[in-house]
Structure 1
């Protein structure tokens, strides 16, 4: 594979040099050496940076991501960790979808005010009770635990 200097890695990945140095300190990437004062990286560092970006977007901590890479930079995927994160993302997506739908309803609701809209009031009641409503519960006017909410 071709060797890239740090400036080329920055240009091609969009990751700032300071972040590359931090990732190096954390053991996420490794330079292959130096040419003058510039760090050199194997071209495969671009794939590692893409995986780090995907992991960060999915909500993995850098400590979690460090565990994905072996000592020589090879991938060691913990499938249970991935499944757990996927389930967490599913819950978050469901909650955010319900909130989005509630807000859209409130924006289009024919009620004279949001305070008079049963769906919006249900959304507020759920959040005030420390529950994030699910799409189904919001649509049915029931709380996320299945009980009816008095409005």
Structure 2
């Protein structure tokens, strides 16, 4: 069987080799050996990378994703999926409020934004924490 090496996986998946090595270090993926100096992977590596990408897009940390991986396949806690969906619902609500506020502020006819009652409500919401700032995690975390 011809196992893809790290450069092939990087090329076909679009995931840099450095990220693949980091994922292996974190326990998200594992190589099955080496061809010369290059790591090789089982053919299911692309499926695993897809699961990692999906998890990241849903807002899971790499540690949370690693906890879901096992040699027998993913072990995904359905309760945790529900919790993440609830977190996304709240984020969508916050972003909707922010979007609507920005649209209003851009079209508001008040002499200044500070004189606009709607804009002032948005300020109060931001001050009270009801509109959370966007998360800014370090790359790869």
Task: Please report the TM-score for the alignment, with normalisation by the length of structure 2.
Answer: 0.86
Q: 2 CA distance for matches of 1:39 and 1:130?
A: 47
Q: 2 CA distance for matches of 1:123 and 1:46?
A: 44
| Alignment correspondent of 1:85 | 84
Query: Could you report, residue by residue, the CA deviation over 1:98-150 in whole angstroms, capped at 9, with x for unpaired residues?
Result: 011101100011222111211111101121233339xxxxxxxxxxxxxxxxx
Task: Please report the TM-score for the alignment, with normalisation by the length of structure 1.
Answer: 0.81
> Are the structure 2 counterparts of residues 2 and 90 from structure 1 closer, same or farther at C-alpha, using a change threshold of 3 Å?
farther
Paired residue secondary structure (1:112): coil
Q: 1 CA distance for matches of 2:127 and 2:72?
A: 46
Q: 1 CA distance for matches of 2:8 and 2:106?
A: 48
Q: 2 CA distance for matches of 1:5 and 1:127?
A: 49
Q: Verify the 8 A CA contact 1:29 1:73 in the aligned structure 2.
A: no
Q: 2 CA distance for matches of 1:2 and 1:117?
A: 66
Q: Verify the 8 A CA contact 2:94 2:130 in the aligned structure 1.
A: no
Count of residue pairs brought into register by the alignment: 132
Structure 1: segments with no counterpart, 5+ residues: 134-151
Which consecutive segments of 4 or more residues in structure 1 shift more than 2 A? 129-133
* RMSD, aligned CA: 1.6
Structure 2: segments with no counterpart, 5+ residues: 133-141
